[in-house]
Structures are given as structure tokens and as C-alpha cells.
Amino acid sequence: MPRPEFTLHDLLHNALERDPQRLAVVDGDAEYSYEDLERESSSLGAALVDAGVDKGDRVGVLVEKSWEAIVSMLAASRIGAAYVNVNPLFKAPQIEYLAQDCDIRVVIGDTPKLEELQPKTVETAFYRGEKPQGKAAKSYVDVAEALKGDGLKADRGVSEIDLGTILYTSGSTGMPKGVATSQRNVVVGAQIVSSCLGNTPEDRILSALPLNFDAGMSQFTTSLRAGATLYLLRSRLPGDLLKALRRHEITGVTGVPPLWALLIRSAKSLREGPLTHLRYLANTGGRIPQANLDELRNLLEPAGTKIYLMYGLTEAFRSTYLAPEEIHRSSPEQGNCIGKAIPNTEIMVIDKEGNEAAPGEPGELVHRGPTVAMGYWGNEEATRKAYRPNPLAPPELLDVERVVYSGDTVTRDEEGYLYFLGREDAMIKNQGYRLSPEEVENLLIASGLVNEACAFGVENPAVGQDVIAVISLKDTGGDGAIDSIREYAINNGPPYMIPKEILVRDELPKTGSGKIDRKGITNAYTNG
């Protein structure tokens, strides 16, 4: 009997019941069935229980995208713990921050990554590879052994309102914020996306995005729900992408705009050998430059591929999508249409007075529905700002339901289509990553050489926005200071956080209230 879909592992149960021998995950040359996924996630779950993981605890997943990473998520889910997938590009300072922020005591990680961490970052580390020499954890367990152990004995009674995962996203305090996401949020997200894309057990889905990114986790959850096969791709180089699409006869791929810029580099091969198996391509995480979208359509649509454009924010998973047959609406001439609400979701356009904006009038995109997450982990102030009572609820139900204020300004037309106008905050979109300027500034200041820093984004269709930083130095005499700062940043931050340009000024301009004038500095830069 199929189970009602309440938790991530209910999805596994149903896929297993449908066809235990079907391939669940393909990682390089290794192939794993749903039966393997059931057995090994049970074994790892039992090992996590032995390591003292209680219901509600957070388990850090530091292994790169792999079979073990997939098993880790399900193992955590089965014992009622929340998995925290860590950005593979994070360096030790960001990982240690995450471990401390949501109190991660147990991690599952690759040995080289574990060796970078400070002593006692966690209690127990499950390592993949050689046993670590360092003291990042008090005790170590070999993942390979844990996957072979006895399975779970007791059911912990996990429900849909339990914490399922924490998704870290860039925060304006200068450090990442954790979006606490329930089992229900994860499962409903999978239901919505798999119904939009029409996923079936016959699908061969490519996982090209990182698993720590909500839209990247989605290929795993939708594939699991459909009982389809997930192909893990770690490389982001166009040759590997092209070969994976062909070799595995991929039927569905989801990515962010820079990935499509890489795909269309292979135009010659795509014309010579069209991707006849590719049923759909879905974009998320920003707008595809129009020239690239036109090229993608030319290369893929004749072979039958449908292109879906999606819009979402981690705080509420997915919000809108533009169906393939309406794709022409997305052009800048038509006003950057982002489509309509995804199924089971309501999108409101709310003006400054808190009322529903009239058609054509700008307002903030407000998301209402079952993917609205629980809030920011350990950050009540930020939670209250983004997760607010439904402004259109009847007075009798005021303050019983939270909706997400996206910070994006949109309009809605008479037909209900939404159009993106801009963002209210200073978030930078670089290579598909959402990045707060404060995080870049903190990274530069942490070098010890920088007095003041101001970071901002400058439009560049190839990457979304370039990161630019204007700084003043602590010690004006130092030749080669910029090189040292850049090297520090590269060693201590993920690549997308490294400014393309670092400009030095004697002092940074301030606003009336004495804050660094980011708007003024940005305007001065863009106006040359």
C-alpha cells in the first residue's frame, strides 16, 4: 500500500514499493537501486542514532554530491533529524559558522574537508576516505562501515511538521541565514515541482546543481517522489554536461542561467546530434539573458525539449513558473514575465499600504502556500520581517497564518501574469548564487588589511551581476595590498564571493546617518 506523503522517507517507501530494483541514483560508474537506498539509509540512520543523534538534531552533510550525500539526507529524515547540506564551495570559516549557528554536533564529510576544520568543531564526524588525522571531531566513524551496519530497529514517529532540513542562504548580517524547512515543506515542494514537470518513473533526471541550494535539492526530491533515476553531475564544465546528457539519455535537467551559457557553448555538437531524449529543461535562480534563451530555444526546441522558467526564493521554495507554451512572454519587450503561481500556491502583489495592488501597479511579491518555510533558524527578528501574517486574511483568522514577503517588486496584468521589476535590498546575484554585500565586505575586512569596504553588484548578462568592491586600506603604504587581500579572500571564501574588481579610496563616502553610502558608491561606479 502506498503511504500518504508526509515525510521524505514516505516518498522512499512508495518508490521502493513501486519497483525496488529500479535505479534510484547513478554516481559516476556506480548504480544504486531503490532497494539499496532503503537498506543503506536505514544502516546509516542506525549509526547516527548510535552516535547520539536525537529527534530534531541537525546533521551536517559535508560530503560532496555523491551516493553518500543522498543516503545521508534520507538517513537523517528517517530518524527525525534535520539534514544541513553544506555548500561545497564553503571554506572552513563558513563551515564552522554553520556548525555553530545551528548547533551541528554530527557531520558526514569527506576527509580532506574535515581536516580543514578547527579542533572540536563537532562531536562526531562520519568520514569518507582515510581516517582523519586532525581533531575536528572527538570521535570518528567510517561512512563505508556505517552503510553496511544493521538497520534501524525502531520508528521514531516522524511527522510532516518536524524540521526536515535547514537551507542556508546569504544573509544581510554578513553571515548566511538558515531557512528552517519542515518535512511538509520538502514533500509539498516535491509534489508541486514534479506535477509541473510531469515526472514519471521513466524519467532520468540530471542533478547539475549543488544539493545545498533549494532548487538543487529539488531534483533529488522530485526524482524520489516519481520513483525516477537521478544522475549526479559534479562537474560544471560544458564538456562533462554535454557528455552526461548524451550518455545517460537524460530526460530532465534543471539549472541556473550560467549553466545554460555553458551548454550553448556546445552549439556545434548540439546541432550535429540533437538531444532527442531531453523532455524538459527548467531554469531557476535568475533571468536567462535573452540572447542565450533564444539560442537555447533554437538548439533544443526542434528536438522536442520544453523549456520551463521558474522563479522562487529559498524562504518559500518555488513561487511561480512560466509554462513552455507561454515562454515568449518572458522577453524584456514583454516586461520580464515570471509567469503565474505554481500549483497549490497563491501569489499576492501587496502595495506599500498593505493592500492588494491593482493590475499594472507595482507591489511586493508575497507568497502564500504550503511551501512557506518555518522561518530563519535562531533569528527571530529576520523571521518577523520576512514571514508576516497574511495581509489579506479575514479578521477572524488574523495572525494564524504566515506568508513570505519576497523583497521583489512585481506587477500583475489583467490575465494574472506577473512581471519582475526589481529588488528592494542590495542582494547580489552572481553565477546563480544570491549573495549579500555584507558577506563580501566581512570577508575582505577579515583579511586584516581593510579599513572600510563597500560591495555591490553591477549588471553583467554573462554572470548575472559582477561583484565589485570599493575599500579603504588600514595601512596606506602597503604595495601589493590588493593582491594580498584577493589571495586572502580566495583562500577563505567561496569563488562567487570574490570581487571581480577591488578599488581603493582614501575614505568611503557616508550617508547622513554616518553609514557607508552603498547607493552613492554604486552609482558613481556605474556612471564611470
Partner 1 sequence: MVASNGDARAAIRGWLQENVTGGRDVANDELLIENGVMTSLQTVELVTFLEDEFGIMVEDDEFDEENFGSVDAIATLVEGKAA
Any contact of residue 489 with partner 1 (CB under 8 A)? yes
Residues 398 and 389: beta-carbon distance below 8 Å = yes
Please report, as residue ranges, which positions from 132 to 161 form the binding site for partner 1 (by CB under 8 A): none
Q: Which three cell numbers stand for residue 410?
A: 512585481
Sign for the CA dihedral angle at 70, 190, 318, 247 comes to positive
Cα–Cα nearest to 122, from 82, 85, 95, 143: 95
Any contact of residue 269 with partner 1 (CB under 8 A)? yes
Choosing from 490, 509, 519, 523, the residue that interacts with partner 1 (CB under 8 A) is 490
Nearest to partner 1 of 18, 247 (CB atom): 247
Scanning 138-146, 294-302, 361-369, 488-496 for contacts with partner 1 by CB under 8 A, the matching segment is 488-496
Please report, as residue ranges, which positions from 246 to 265 form the binding site for partner 1 (by CB under 8 A): 258, 261-262, 265
Choosing from 47, 82, 137, 242, the residue that interacts with partner 1 (CB under 8 A) is 242
Any contact of residue 524 with partner 1 (CB under 8 A)? no
Q: Which three cell numbers stand for residue 179?
A: 531557512
Choosing from 149, 151, 238, 391, the residue that interacts with partner 1 (CB under 8 A) is 238
Please report, as residue ranges, which positions from 452 to 471 form the binding site for partner 1 (by CB under 8 A): 462-463
Residue type (1 letter), 300 = L
Any contact of residue 501 with partner 1 (CB under 8 A)? no
Any contact of residue 487 with partner 1 (CB under 8 A)? yes
Nearest to partner 1 of 195, 484 (CB atom): 484
- How many whole angstroms separate alpha carbon 441 and alpha carbon 322? 36
Any contact of residue 358 with partner 1 (CB under 8 A)? no
Please report, as residue ranges, which positions from 397 to 436 form the binding site for partner 1 (by CB under 8 A): 431
| Cα–Cα separations (whole angstroms), residue 302 to 43, 196, 263, 277 | 46, 21, 16, 12
Q: Which three cell numbers stand for residue 129?
A: 576516505
Residues ≥6 apart with Cβ < 8 Å to 321: 196, 308, 309, 310, 311, 339, 340, 342
Residue 305 CB, shortest distance to partner 1, in Å, is 18
Using the 8-state DSSP alphabet, how is residue 475 labeled? S
Cα–Cα nearest to 281, from 351, 239, 219: 219
Any contact of residue 486 with partner 1 (CB under 8 A)? yes
Scanning 54-62, 97-105, 282-290, 487-495 for contacts with partner 1 by CB under 8 A, the matching segment is 487-495
Instruction: For the beta carbon of residue 139, count every other beta carbon within 10 angstroms.
Output: 12
Query: Which residues bind to partner 1, rule: CB under 8 A?
Result: 88-89, 235-240, 242-243, 258, 261-262, 265-266, 268-269, 431, 462-463, 480, 483, 485-487, 489-490, 494-496
